[in-house]
Structure 1
Amino acid sequence: MSQKGCVKCGGQETGTKEVAMTGTGLSKFLDVQHNQFVVVYCKNCGYSEFYNKNSSKASNIIDLFFGG
């Protein structure tokens, strides 16, 4: 049976942040930040993963981080 937790340290506590980033080409030149992500990070070691905000369901993001 696999144990759930951070893939780097096994920590069980996570935090989340929302970030926006520019794309390439003209959007980068004009500083248009239309790419939105949810960052899930381990509160113990800081390991982070980015999830596309538009395609990820908020209730499942933590499960994805833990490998669920």
Structure 2
Amino acid sequence: MNQSGYKCPKCGNQNYEADEFRATGGVFSKIFDIQNKKFTTVSCTRCSYTEIYKASSSQLGNIFDFFTN
């Protein structure tokens, strides 16, 4: 993606890829294999520098708004 508000803090590139992953968060979550933590990643397409944000589904839009405004 190319958004006018995003700029990689390492190389200055303005293109990025966004993705998400889920992970377990506690003992019971690990025992029952419940992935209850959600994270959003934003990776520079040039140098692969990646920022990770802990977010719920409603906060995902706020992260993209941060980069595009």
Q: Give the TM-score, by structure 2 length.
A: 0.70
Pair 34,26 (structure 1): closer, same or farther in 2 beyond 3 Å: same
Q: How many residues align?
A: 63
Q: Residue 53 of structure 1: CA displacement?
A: 2.5
CA RMSD across the alignment: 2.3
Instruction: For 1:1-68, list aligned pairs within 5 A.
Output: 5-54=7-56, 56-58=59-61, 60-62=62-64, 64=66
Pair 40,21 (structure 1): closer, same or farther in 2 beyond 3 Å: same
Structure 1 residues without counterparts, runs of 5 or longer:
none
Q: Residue 62 of structure 1: CA displacement?
A: 4.3
Secondary structure at the counterpart of residue 56 of structure 1: helix
Structure 2 residues without counterparts, runs of 5 or longer:
1-5
Q: % of aligned pairs identical?
A: 39
Q: Residue 31 of structure 1: CA displacement?
A: 1.4
15-24 or 4-13, larger mean C-alpha shift? 4-13
